[in-house]
Amino acid sequence: MKYLKIGKKFWKYELHDLGFSERLTGSNHSINKNGSFNVQRVGHSSTTIDDIYNNLINMKWSKFCLVILTWFIVINALFAFIYMAVGTEYLAGAHGRDKIAKFLDCFFFSAQTLSTVGYGHLSPSNYWMSGVAALECLLGLLGFALATGLLYGRFSRPAAKILYSENMLVSPYQDKQAIMFRIVNGRKTQLIETEIKLILALNVDEDSKKVRRFFDLALERSKVSFFPMSWTVVHPLDENSVLFGYTPQMLEEAGLEILISIKAFDEVYSQTVYSRYSYLSSDIVWNARFTPMIGARNGINILALDSLNEFEILETETINQ
Protein backbone atom coordinates (compact mmCIF):
# COMPACT_ATOMS: atom_id res chain seq x y z
CA MET A 1 0.00 0.00 0.00
CA LYS A 2 1.12 3.55 -0.77
CA TYR A 3 -0.24 6.96 0.07
CA LEU A 4 -0.67 9.65 -2.54
CA LYS A 5 -1.70 13.23 -1.95
CA ILE A 6 -4.35 14.50 -4.36
CA GLY A 7 -5.63 17.93 -3.52
CA LYS A 8 -5.79 18.19 0.25
CA LYS A 9 -6.38 14.52 0.92
CA PHE A 10 -4.09 11.50 1.12
CA TRP A 11 -5.35 8.44 -0.73
CA LYS A 12 -4.30 4.92 0.14
CA TYR A 13 -3.90 2.78 -2.92
CA GLU A 14 -2.21 -0.40 -4.06
CA LEU A 15 0.24 0.12 -6.88
CA HIS A 16 -0.63 -2.18 -9.74
CA ASP A 17 0.53 -2.35 -13.33
CA LEU A 18 -2.05 -2.33 -16.11
CA GLY A 19 0.54 -2.76 -18.82
CA PHE A 20 0.60 0.97 -19.60
CA SER A 21 3.62 3.10 -18.84
CA GLU A 22 3.65 5.37 -15.79
CA ARG A 23 5.51 7.93 -17.86
CA LEU A 24 3.47 10.80 -19.24
CA THR A 25 2.31 10.16 -22.78
CA GLY A 26 0.26 12.03 -25.35
CA SER A 27 -3.22 13.35 -24.69
CA ASN A 28 -4.91 10.76 -26.92
CA HIS A 29 -6.79 7.66 -25.83
CA SER A 30 -4.80 4.71 -24.51
CA ILE A 31 -7.61 2.54 -25.87
CA ASN A 32 -9.02 3.35 -29.30
CA LYS A 33 -12.73 3.57 -30.05
CA ASN A 34 -12.68 0.09 -31.58
CA GLY A 35 -11.20 -1.42 -28.41
CA SER A 36 -7.64 -1.80 -29.72
CA PHE A 37 -4.69 -0.31 -27.87
CA ASN A 38 -3.26 2.98 -29.10
CA VAL A 39 0.26 1.60 -29.51
CA GLN A 40 2.43 1.64 -32.62
CA ARG A 41 5.27 -0.87 -32.73
CA VAL A 42 8.52 0.24 -34.37
CA GLY A 43 12.03 -1.17 -34.70
CA HIS A 44 11.08 -4.77 -35.53
CA SER A 45 10.04 -5.44 -39.11
CA SER A 46 10.10 -9.24 -39.35
CA THR A 47 6.74 -10.84 -40.12
CA THR A 48 5.84 -14.43 -39.31
CA ILE A 49 3.07 -16.71 -40.55
CA ASP A 50 1.25 -16.15 -37.26
CA ASP A 51 1.32 -12.38 -37.87
CA ILE A 52 -0.18 -12.82 -41.35
CA TYR A 53 -2.93 -15.10 -40.00
CA ASN A 54 -3.69 -12.70 -37.15
CA ASN A 55 -3.92 -9.75 -39.54
CA LEU A 56 -6.22 -11.60 -41.93
CA ILE A 57 -8.49 -12.70 -39.07
CA ASN A 58 -8.75 -9.25 -37.48
CA MET A 59 -8.83 -6.88 -40.46
CA LYS A 60 -12.08 -5.28 -41.63
CA TRP A 61 -14.35 -7.32 -43.88
CA SER A 62 -13.97 -4.88 -46.78
CA LYS A 63 -10.19 -5.11 -46.60
CA PHE A 64 -10.30 -8.90 -46.22
CA CYS A 65 -12.47 -9.29 -49.33
CA LEU A 66 -10.13 -6.97 -51.23
CA VAL A 67 -7.13 -9.10 -50.20
CA ILE A 68 -8.82 -12.31 -51.39
CA LEU A 69 -9.88 -10.71 -54.69
CA THR A 70 -6.38 -9.31 -55.24
CA TRP A 71 -4.83 -12.72 -54.52
CA PHE A 72 -7.19 -14.37 -57.03
CA ILE A 73 -6.43 -11.86 -59.79
CA VAL A 74 -2.65 -11.83 -59.22
CA ILE A 75 -2.33 -15.64 -59.20
CA ASN A 76 -4.41 -15.99 -62.36
CA ALA A 77 -2.47 -13.21 -64.09
CA LEU A 78 0.85 -14.84 -63.14
CA PHE A 79 -0.17 -18.23 -64.53
CA ALA A 80 -1.63 -16.55 -67.61
CA PHE A 81 1.84 -15.21 -68.43
CA ILE A 82 3.31 -18.69 -67.84
CA TYR A 83 0.77 -20.23 -70.23
CA MET A 84 1.58 -17.57 -72.81
CA ALA A 85 5.28 -18.39 -72.43
CA VAL A 86 4.55 -22.08 -73.05
CA GLY A 87 2.52 -21.10 -76.10
CA THR A 88 -1.17 -20.48 -76.69
CA GLU A 89 -1.02 -22.85 -79.66
CA TYR A 90 -0.98 -25.63 -77.05
CA LEU A 91 -4.20 -24.34 -75.50
CA ALA A 92 -7.05 -26.03 -77.32
CA GLY A 93 -10.00 -23.71 -77.93
CA ALA A 94 -7.99 -20.47 -77.69
CA HIS A 95 -8.78 -18.20 -80.63
CA GLY A 96 -7.06 -14.97 -79.57
CA ARG A 97 -5.11 -13.26 -82.35
CA ASP A 98 -3.46 -10.30 -80.62
CA LYS A 99 -1.57 -10.29 -77.31
CA ILE A 100 -4.49 -8.97 -75.27
CA ALA A 101 -6.88 -11.61 -76.58
CA LYS A 102 -4.30 -14.35 -76.00
CA PHE A 103 -3.72 -13.10 -72.45
CA LEU A 104 -7.47 -13.13 -71.74
CA ASP A 105 -7.73 -16.70 -73.06
CA CYS A 106 -4.91 -17.75 -70.75
CA PHE A 107 -6.31 -15.77 -67.81
CA PHE A 108 -9.75 -17.38 -67.97
CA PHE A 109 -8.18 -20.80 -68.54
CA SER A 110 -6.13 -20.17 -65.38
CA ALA A 111 -9.29 -19.20 -63.46
CA GLN A 112 -10.94 -22.49 -64.48
CA THR A 113 -7.85 -24.45 -63.46
CA LEU A 114 -7.31 -22.64 -60.15
CA SER A 115 -10.92 -23.11 -59.07
CA THR A 116 -10.97 -26.74 -60.32
CA VAL A 117 -14.36 -26.20 -61.99
CA GLY A 118 -13.34 -28.23 -65.04
CA TYR A 119 -12.69 -27.09 -68.57
CA GLY A 120 -15.15 -25.80 -71.12
CA HIS A 121 -13.88 -25.18 -74.63
CA LEU A 122 -10.38 -24.33 -73.28
CA SER A 123 -8.07 -27.25 -72.40
CA PRO A 124 -4.32 -28.06 -72.47
CA SER A 125 -3.06 -29.98 -75.48
CA ASN A 126 0.55 -30.89 -74.60
CA TYR A 127 2.54 -32.15 -71.62
CA TRP A 128 4.10 -28.80 -70.69
CA MET A 129 0.75 -27.03 -70.62
CA SER A 130 -0.79 -29.92 -68.69
CA GLY A 131 2.07 -29.88 -66.17
CA VAL A 132 1.64 -26.18 -65.44
CA ALA A 133 -2.13 -26.69 -65.14
CA ALA A 134 -1.61 -29.55 -62.68
CA LEU A 135 0.66 -27.36 -60.54
CA GLU A 136 -1.89 -24.55 -60.57
CA CYS A 137 -4.67 -26.98 -59.67
CA LEU A 138 -2.71 -28.04 -56.57
CA LEU A 139 -2.11 -24.40 -55.66
CA GLY A 140 -5.82 -23.69 -56.12
CA LEU A 141 -6.85 -26.51 -53.80
CA LEU A 142 -4.50 -25.26 -51.09
CA GLY A 143 -5.42 -21.62 -51.61
CA PHE A 144 -9.17 -22.11 -51.43
CA ALA A 145 -8.76 -24.38 -48.40
CA LEU A 146 -6.87 -21.58 -46.65
CA ALA A 147 -9.46 -18.99 -47.71
CA THR A 148 -12.27 -21.22 -46.42
CA GLY A 149 -10.45 -21.66 -43.12
CA LEU A 150 -10.00 -17.90 -42.79
CA LEU A 151 -13.70 -17.32 -43.49
CA TYR A 152 -14.67 -19.89 -40.88
CA GLY A 153 -12.23 -18.37 -38.40
CA ARG A 154 -13.68 -14.91 -38.90
CA PHE A 155 -17.28 -16.09 -38.52
CA SER A 156 -16.62 -18.37 -35.55
CA ARG A 157 -14.49 -15.91 -33.58
CA PRO A 158 -16.54 -14.60 -30.63
CA ALA A 159 -16.56 -10.84 -30.35
CA ALA A 160 -18.68 -8.55 -28.22
CA LYS A 161 -20.30 -5.51 -29.80
CA ILE A 162 -20.88 -3.26 -26.83
CA LEU A 163 -22.09 0.22 -27.79
CA TYR A 164 -20.91 3.05 -25.56
CA SER A 165 -22.42 6.50 -25.23
CA GLU A 166 -20.24 9.13 -26.89
CA ASN A 167 -20.01 11.12 -23.67
CA MET A 168 -19.68 10.62 -19.97
CA LEU A 169 -22.01 12.81 -17.93
CA VAL A 170 -21.66 14.37 -14.51
CA SER A 171 -25.23 14.22 -13.21
CA PRO A 172 -27.09 14.67 -9.92
CA TYR A 173 -27.04 11.48 -7.88
CA GLN A 174 -28.48 11.01 -4.39
CA ASP A 175 -28.13 14.68 -3.38
CA LYS A 176 -24.61 14.80 -4.78
CA GLN A 177 -23.08 14.00 -8.14
CA ALA A 178 -21.94 10.98 -10.08
CA ILE A 179 -20.07 10.40 -13.29
CA MET A 180 -21.88 8.00 -15.59
CA PHE A 181 -22.15 6.61 -19.10
CA ARG A 182 -24.46 4.20 -20.92
CA ILE A 183 -23.79 0.92 -22.66
CA VAL A 184 -25.96 -1.48 -24.62
CA ASN A 185 -25.44 -4.81 -26.37
CA GLY A 186 -25.21 -4.02 -30.09
CA ARG A 187 -25.98 -7.59 -31.14
CA LYS A 188 -29.13 -9.67 -30.78
CA THR A 189 -27.19 -12.31 -28.88
CA GLN A 190 -27.83 -12.77 -25.18
CA LEU A 191 -25.10 -11.71 -22.76
CA ILE A 192 -25.20 -12.94 -19.18
CA GLU A 193 -23.01 -12.43 -16.10
CA THR A 194 -21.76 -9.13 -17.46
CA GLU A 195 -19.03 -7.50 -15.37
CA ILE A 196 -17.49 -4.06 -15.78
CA LYS A 197 -14.39 -2.46 -14.32
CA LEU A 198 -13.39 1.21 -14.43
CA ILE A 199 -9.82 2.37 -13.99
CA LEU A 200 -8.87 6.01 -13.63
CA ALA A 201 -5.59 7.26 -15.11
CA LEU A 202 -4.28 10.57 -13.74
CA ASN A 203 -1.07 12.56 -13.91
CA VAL A 204 -0.07 13.24 -10.30
CA ASP A 205 2.87 14.73 -8.40
CA GLU A 206 4.92 12.04 -6.72
CA ASP A 207 8.42 12.51 -5.32
CA SER A 208 8.68 15.93 -6.98
CA LYS A 209 7.90 14.62 -10.44
CA LYS A 210 4.86 14.02 -12.61
CA VAL A 211 3.90 10.39 -13.07
CA ARG A 212 0.81 8.59 -14.34
CA ARG A 213 -1.05 6.58 -11.75
CA PHE A 214 -4.03 4.25 -12.03
CA PHE A 215 -6.91 3.91 -9.56
CA ASP A 216 -9.88 1.54 -9.43
CA LEU A 217 -13.19 3.40 -9.46
CA ALA A 218 -15.95 1.99 -7.27
CA LEU A 219 -19.28 1.56 -9.05
CA GLU A 220 -22.86 1.66 -7.90
CA ARG A 221 -23.21 -1.72 -9.63
CA SER A 222 -20.33 -3.59 -11.25
CA LYS A 223 -22.16 -6.75 -12.37
CA VAL A 224 -25.54 -7.68 -13.81
CA SER A 225 -26.86 -11.19 -14.32
CA PHE A 226 -28.70 -10.33 -17.54
CA PHE A 227 -28.00 -7.61 -20.11
CA PRO A 228 -31.01 -7.34 -22.46
CA MET A 229 -31.53 -3.58 -22.01
CA SER A 230 -29.27 -0.56 -21.57
CA TRP A 231 -27.03 -0.17 -18.53
CA THR A 232 -26.13 3.18 -17.02
CA VAL A 233 -22.79 2.69 -15.28
CA VAL A 234 -22.45 5.04 -12.28
CA HIS A 235 -19.45 6.09 -10.20
CA PRO A 236 -20.56 8.29 -7.25
CA LEU A 237 -18.47 11.42 -6.75
CA ASP A 238 -18.53 11.28 -2.96
CA GLU A 239 -15.84 11.61 -0.32
CA ASN A 240 -14.57 8.13 -1.14
CA SER A 241 -13.90 8.98 -4.78
CA VAL A 242 -10.48 10.07 -6.04
CA LEU A 243 -12.32 12.51 -8.32
CA PHE A 244 -14.19 14.21 -5.50
CA GLY A 245 -13.75 17.97 -5.68
CA TYR A 246 -12.22 18.04 -9.15
CA THR A 247 -13.33 20.72 -11.61
CA PRO A 248 -13.35 20.34 -15.42
CA GLN A 249 -10.17 22.40 -15.67
CA MET A 250 -8.42 20.29 -13.04
CA LEU A 251 -9.36 17.07 -14.84
CA GLU A 252 -8.01 18.40 -18.12
CA GLU A 253 -4.74 19.49 -16.51
CA ALA A 254 -4.41 16.07 -14.85
CA GLY A 255 -4.78 14.30 -18.21
CA LEU A 256 -7.74 12.25 -17.04
CA GLU A 257 -8.59 9.06 -18.86
CA ILE A 258 -11.12 6.50 -17.68
CA LEU A 259 -10.39 3.00 -18.98
CA ILE A 260 -13.26 0.53 -19.24
CA SER A 261 -13.05 -3.25 -19.35
CA ILE A 262 -16.16 -5.40 -19.82
CA LYS A 263 -16.42 -9.18 -19.58
CA ALA A 264 -19.57 -11.16 -20.39
CA PHE A 265 -20.66 -14.67 -21.34
CA ASP A 266 -22.15 -15.01 -24.83
CA GLU A 267 -24.79 -17.76 -25.02
CA VAL A 268 -24.45 -18.15 -28.81
CA TYR A 269 -20.71 -18.91 -28.75
CA SER A 270 -20.78 -20.36 -25.21
CA GLN A 271 -17.64 -18.37 -24.54
CA THR A 272 -16.57 -15.31 -22.59
CA VAL A 273 -16.30 -12.14 -24.66
CA TYR A 274 -14.54 -8.89 -23.84
CA SER A 275 -14.87 -5.23 -24.72
CA ARG A 276 -12.67 -2.19 -24.02
CA TYR A 277 -13.19 1.54 -24.26
CA SER A 278 -11.94 4.80 -22.76
CA TYR A 279 -13.04 8.37 -22.15
CA LEU A 280 -10.94 11.53 -21.89
CA SER A 281 -11.77 14.68 -19.93
CA SER A 282 -12.93 16.25 -23.22
CA ASP A 283 -15.61 13.53 -23.45
CA ILE A 284 -17.18 14.51 -20.12
CA VAL A 285 -20.25 16.76 -20.12
CA TRP A 286 -20.97 18.42 -16.79
CA ASN A 287 -24.40 19.07 -15.32
CA ALA A 288 -26.31 16.90 -17.79
CA ARG A 289 -28.62 13.90 -17.70
CA PHE A 290 -29.30 11.07 -20.13
CA THR A 291 -32.74 11.01 -21.73
CA PRO A 292 -34.69 7.72 -21.40
CA MET A 293 -34.11 5.11 -24.10
CA ILE A 294 -36.38 2.39 -22.70
CA GLY A 295 -40.13 2.34 -23.24
CA ALA A 296 -43.03 -0.06 -23.76
CA ARG A 297 -45.50 -0.73 -26.56
CA ASN A 298 -48.30 -3.30 -26.52
CA GLY A 299 -46.79 -5.01 -23.52
CA ILE A 300 -43.33 -5.30 -25.13
CA ASN A 301 -40.27 -3.48 -23.84
CA ILE A 302 -38.75 -1.16 -26.44
CA LEU A 303 -35.04 -0.27 -26.45
CA ALA A 304 -34.28 2.75 -28.66
CA LEU A 305 -30.65 2.26 -29.68
CA ASP A 306 -30.62 5.57 -31.55
CA SER A 307 -31.15 7.35 -28.22
CA LEU A 308 -27.98 5.97 -26.65
CA ASN A 309 -26.10 9.28 -26.93
CA GLU A 310 -28.97 11.64 -26.17
CA PHE A 311 -28.82 13.80 -23.05
CA GLU A 312 -30.14 17.10 -21.76
CA ILE A 313 -28.34 19.94 -20.03
CA LEU A 314 -29.77 20.74 -16.59
CA GLU A 315 -30.67 24.29 -15.68
CA THR A 316 -29.45 24.24 -12.08
CA GLU A 317 -26.00 22.98 -11.26
CA THR A 318 -25.43 20.53 -8.45
CA ILE A 319 -22.12 21.09 -6.66
CA ASN A 320 -20.22 18.55 -4.61
CA GLN A 321 -20.91 19.05 -0.95
Beta-strand runs (E) in the chain: 2-6, 9-13, 91-92, 123-124, 162-164, 168-173, 176-185, 191-206, 209-217, 223-226, 231-236, 257-266, 271-280, 284-286, 288-290, 294-297, 300-303, 311-313
d(CA 165, CA 233): 11
- Check residue 20 and give its pLDDT: 65
Look at residue 107 in the predicted model and tell me its pLDDT: 92
Neighbours of 56 (CB within 10 A): 18
Q: Please state, in angstroms and as integers, the Cα–Cα distance from residue 287 to each residue in 14, 167, 182, 244, 254, following that order.
A: 32, 12, 16, 15, 20
* Structural domains of the chain ordered from first start: 49-156 (1.10.287.70), 160-313 (2.60.40.1400)
Distance separating alpha carbons of residues 240 and 11, to the nearest angstrom: 9
pTM for the structure as a whole: 0.74
Counting beta carbons within 10 angstroms of the beta carbon of residue 248, is it exposed (0 to 12), middle (13 to 18) or buried (19 or more)? middle
Q: What is the dihedral of CA 229, 230, 235, 238, to 10 degrees?
A: -80
User: Tens place of pLDDT for every residue, the chain, 321 residues?
Assistant: 455 555 555 555 555 556 665 665 555 777 777 777 777 666 666 666 668 888 898 888 999 999 999 999 999 999 999 999 988 888 887 787 888 988 998 999 899 899 888 777 778 888 998 999 999 999 999 999 999 999 998 888 888 899 999 999 999 998 889 999 999 999 988 999 999 999 998 888 777 778 888 889 999 999 999 999 999 999 999 988 889 888 899 888 888 999 999 999 998 888 999 999 999 999 999 999 999 999 888 889 999 999 999 999 997 654 444
Asked if 216 and 294 count as a contact pair (C-beta separation under 8 A), the reply is no
Estimate to the nearest angstrom the gap between the alpha carbon of 48 and the chain centroid.
Answer: 22
